[in-house]
Amino acid sequence: MSATAPTTPDTTQTDVLIIGAGPVGLFAAFQAGVLGLRCEIIDVLDRAGGQCTELYPEKPIYDIPAVPGCLAQDLVDRLLEQCAPFDFPMHFGQRADSVTDTAGPDGHPRLLVTTDAGKRFDVAAVLVCAGAGAFAPQRVALPEAVALENRHLHYAVREVSHFAGKRVIVAGGGDSALDWALALRKVASRVTLLHRREGFRAADHTVSAMRAAVAAGEMDFVVGMLGSLQTGDDGSLVGAIIKSRDGDQTLAADELVALYGLVSEPGPIAHWDLDMHAGRIHIENTTTYETSRRGIFAAGDIAVYPNKQKLILSGFHEAALALRRAYHYAFPDKALVHMHTSNNPGLKAKLTA
Ligand SMILES: Cc1cc2nc3c(=O)[nH]c(=O)nc-3n(C[C@H](O)[C@H](O)[C@H](O)COP(=O)(O)OP(=O)(O)OC[C@H]3O[C@@H](n4cnc5c(N)ncnc54)[C@H](O)[C@@H]3O)c2cc1C
């Protein structure tokens, strides 16, 4: 049953909502701009790039057409640069939670997407570029951790000022953990980096910077694992028991920042009544990449069909075709005239400005 989308001040109306700002979502935004579609992009993370940025930013990629080789993060930066002329809003820290069929004032079908942070998008089409699913932080596996979350236990640093003058434990051995330990030492009363072993997954120059800061007495490094978290009478964090080969030790702490990396979860999209195969969206029609639900398209790693290749270039192609179909939902009475960017004076001016 369709209903007219309730228009509230916090409902954004646009042509296409792109879910996921990984490489495929970013290229899709560029394609939307080329076709004359308005779009907005959301991602549950606090930055663009998807797997390229989160999993392998410094690994080279050799199979992007016309790019003989570049680092994964460089590819993301170039995709951001490519879609920048269209200036489409990107909303980070927003997980797409639900989608409802609605109708516009003219009776044409529309979709209303809501996010976990309360944003609402009233759109003609949705392009799901959700990759392996919504990335979520790997959580501290201690029962007492849940009550401390977002108060004294953090899985991301949102405001550095929150840590000013506090005793902070930063747990983890990757780039994020080391970068934040180094950054927070400038505002915290004391920072202790906690990692289960002497070796790190972080870049060599970051490890060197951390070791230099420890040698200079600007921060501490402890090898061990969180055994339990200690709280005061008011429920705030006061310290942690650290387990190591040499036995247990207590570290006094006001804040714990746990940066153990990300895990991907299928997330709410798995309950959108789409034809799903093993956690991915099954595509029947590979000329449009429309899912089993009208107006919802899928491209990139989340989309599956016979002979699907989980490659960035496959996602680019899928997104380009999906948006051409989405155009007809956004402009049901208009024909989509194929034009090369170089033959379209308005577009050419925009892209070369
Ligand atoms: C180590 C490694 C090396 C690789 N090397 C190559 C290579 O050399 N060449 C190549 O072509 N491919 C390579 N790949 C594969 C490539 O990274 C993927 O094909 C590509 O990232 C898929 O892009 P995507 O945009 O579909 O998804 P992703 O990159 O996974 O991005 C999806 C985004 O969607 C967001 N998201 C998910 N669900 C939601 C939701 N409900 N709400 C809001 N946001 C959501 C996620 O947070 C994420 O940011 C490699 C992969 C790995 C792991």
- Residue 1: the pLDDT is 36
CB distance 18 to ligand 1 below 6 Å: no
- Residue 65: the pLDDT is 96
- Residue 8: the pLDDT is 60
Q: What confidence tens digit (pLDDT) does each residue in 197-238 have?
A: 999 988 899 999 999 999 999 999 999 999 999 999 999 999
The separation between the first and the last C-alpha atoms of the chain, rounded to the nearest angstrom, is 46
Please choose from 51, 91, 271 the residue to mutate so as to test ligand 1's pocket, defined by most ligand atoms within 8 A of CB.
Answer: 51
Question: The domain 3-135+263-352 is classified under which CATH number: 3.50.50.60, 3.60.20.40, 3.20.130.10, 3.40.50.2300?
Answer: 3.50.50.60
- Residue 340: the pLDDT is 80
Q: Does the fold of domain 139-260 match that of domain 3-135+263-352?
A: yes
Percent over 90 (pLDDT), the chain: 81
CA dihedral 210, 211, 215, 219 (to 10 degrees): 30
- Residue 9: the pLDDT is 60
- Residue 136: the pLDDT is 82
Measure the CA–CA gap between 266 and 127, rounded to whole angstroms: 16
Q: What confidence tens digit (pLDDT) does each residue in 76-132 have?
A: 999 999 999 999 999 999 999 999 999 999 999 999 999 999 999 999 999 999 998
Measure the CA–CA gap between 240 and 255, rounded to whole angstroms: 10
- Residue 174: the pLDDT is 92
| Contact in structure between 341 and 351 (CB atoms under 8 Å) | yes
* Alpha carbon nearest to ligand 1 atom 24, residue: 131
Domain ranges, ordered by start, for the chain: 3-135+263-352, 139-260
Q: Is 331 annotated as a binding residue?
A: no
All residue ranges of the chain with pLDDT < 70 are 1-9
- Residue 172: the pLDDT is 97
| Contact in structure between 243 and 225 (CB atoms under 8 Å) | yes
Among 48, 31, 52, CA closest to 91: 48
CB distance 61 to ligand 1 below 6 Å: yes
Question: Per residue in 204-224, is it b (16+ CB within 10 Å) or e — as a string?
Answer: eebbebbeebbeeeebbbbeb
Q: Where are the beta strands (DSSP E) in 26-85?
A: 39-43, 60-61, 70-71
Instruction: Give the DSSP H/E element, type plus range, for residue 182.
Output: helix 175-184
- The CATH fold of domain 139-260: FAD/NAD(P)-binding domain (3.50.50)
- Residue 2: the pLDDT is 42
